[in-house]
Structures are given as C-alpha cells and as structure tokens.
C-alpha cells in the first residue's frame, strides 16, 4: 500500500499534469479563427507558478520541462526555448518559496509579475540573438498584462477548488 504523503504527491502531480494538458488542448482549439486582437493570458504559466509556490513537491522540474517541451512542439515555437525559460523561472521561484509563503498575496503577485517580466524579456532577447522573429511587442505586452491580471483569479480558483492555499496556517485549517 502506498503511504498517504506519497499518494497525495502523486495525485497532486497527476492533477497538475491533467489541468496543464487541458489548458494546452483549449489553446489548440480553433475557437476564434482569423486575427487575434487581444491575446489571452498564459493560464498554463499561471497554473505552473501557483503550483510551484503552493505545492513545490507536486511539480517536479522534469515534469515542468516535459510539459513545456510538449507545448513548444505543439504551438510551433522554438523547441526547448520556452521550456528552458520556464524551468529557470520556476526554479528561481521554488528556491524562494519558503520566504514568499507567509507574505501577503500582493507581495507574491508583485514578485510573480517581476518574474514574468524577466521571463518575457529573456524570451525576446534569446529570439533576437538567434535571429528568430519575436512576436510583435504590442501583442507580447498585452499577453503579459492579461497573464498578470489572470494570476489572482487562477490563484483564488486554485485555493478554492483545488485546495491549494497559500500559507501553512490556511493549509492546517483546511485539513482540520
């Protein structure tokens, strides 16, 4: 029989993978053919950062790398570039997760915003260095703003529906 802690970790990891793949499937659907005026938020990245900050043991680095590599291939982006940037960003967040946990949500949101901005700049810089055409700056900025705006909504939904509270006090109160 599997011990409860390992079972919880495996089930959490399976839920993360299933939700990420559902978001990726949703992005691949041709819901609005033609030109997109307002790009939507990167909900997969929001979900990944929330999972890394709230349950780091359920989102191992190899899982994140594999999921983003699949996303790079399916969305026809340079293979491995987004995966590498997201792995570096999530590992930076994971390293500081224990310090972020007890701070107010606004501080977490500001730090995630800074991290997302750095990840976007790194992506644009690397695309330019390798003579690949980056997406238009206006469209990238709109997606960045949409992702920042979606982060609190995804975090609230994750805390309410998935049982991913921010602090250990909230987690202990939920398990009682």
Is residue 33 included in any domain, yes or no?
no
Q: Is residue 106 predicted with pLDDT exceeding 80?
A: yes
Q: What integer is the mean pLDDT of 164-169?
A: 66
Half-sphere exposure in the Cβ direction for 120 (13 Å, CA):
22
Query: What pLDDT, on a 0 to 100 scale, did the predictor assign at position 1?
Result: 62
Is residue 34 included in any domain, yes or no?
no
Query: What pLDDT, on a 0 to 100 scale, did the predictor assign at position 167?
Result: 60
Q: Is residue 59 predicted with pLDDT exceeding 50?
A: yes
DSSP the chain: ---HHHHHHHHHHHHHHHHHHHHHHHHHS-SS-S--SSPPP-HHHHHHHHHHHH-GGGS-HHHHHHHHHHHHHHTTPPTTHHHHHHHHHHHHHHHTHHHHTTS-HHHHHHHHHHHHHHHHHHHHHHHHHTT--PPPHHHHHHHHHHHHHHHHHHHHHHHHHS---SSHHHHHHHH-
More confident residue, 172 or 35: 35
Q: Is residue 134 predicted with pLDDT exceeding 70?
A: yes
Is residue 55 included in any domain, yes or no?
yes
Question: What percentage of the chain carries pLDDT values higher than 70?
Answer: 91
Is residue 148 included in any domain, yes or no?
yes
pTM listed for this prediction: 0.88
Is residue 143 included in any domain, yes or no?
yes
Q: What integer is the mean pLDDT of 147-158?
A: 95
Query: What pLDDT, on a 0 to 100 scale, did the predictor assign at position 36?
Result: 65
Question: What percentage of the chain carries pLDDT values higher than 90?
Answer: 72
Domain count, the chain: 1
Is residue 49 included in any domain, yes or no?
yes
pLDDT band per the 50, 70, 90 thresholds, residue 146: very high
Is residue 176 included in any domain, yes or no?
no
For residue 72, give its domain range. 4-27+42-171
Query: What pLDDT, on a 0 to 100 scale, did the predictor assign at position 41?
Result: 94
Is residue 35 included in any domain, yes or no?
no
Query: What pLDDT, on a 0 to 100 scale, did the predictor assign at position 102?
Result: 81
Q: Is residue 168 predicted with pLDDT exceeding 60?
A: no
Query: What pLDDT, on a 0 to 100 scale, did the predictor assign at position 11?
Result: 93
Q: What integer is the mean pLDDT of 91-102?
A: 85
């Amino acid at each position: 029989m599997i011990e409860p802690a390992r079972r919880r970790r495996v089930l959490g990891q399976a839920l993360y993978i299933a939700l990420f793949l559902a978001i990726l499937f949703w992005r691949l659907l041709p819901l609005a053919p033609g030109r997109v005026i307002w790009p939507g938020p990167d909900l997969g990245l929001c979900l990944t950062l929330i999972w890394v900050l709230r349950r780091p043991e359920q989102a191992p680095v190899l899982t994140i790398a594999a999921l983003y590599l699949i996303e790079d291939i399916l969305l026809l982006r340079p293979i491995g570039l987004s995966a590498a940037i997201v792995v570096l960003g999530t590992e930076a967040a994971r390293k500081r997760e224990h310090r972020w946990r007890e701070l107010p949500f606004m501080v977490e949101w500001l730090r995630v915003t800074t991290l997302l901005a750095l990840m976007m700049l790194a992506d644009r810089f690397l695309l330019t260095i390798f003579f690949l055409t980056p997406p238009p700056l206006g469209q990238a900025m709109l997606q960045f703003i949409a992702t920042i705006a979606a982060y609190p909504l995804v975090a609230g939904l994750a805390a309410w529906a998935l049982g991913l509270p921010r602090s250990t006090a909230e987690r202990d109160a939920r398990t009682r």
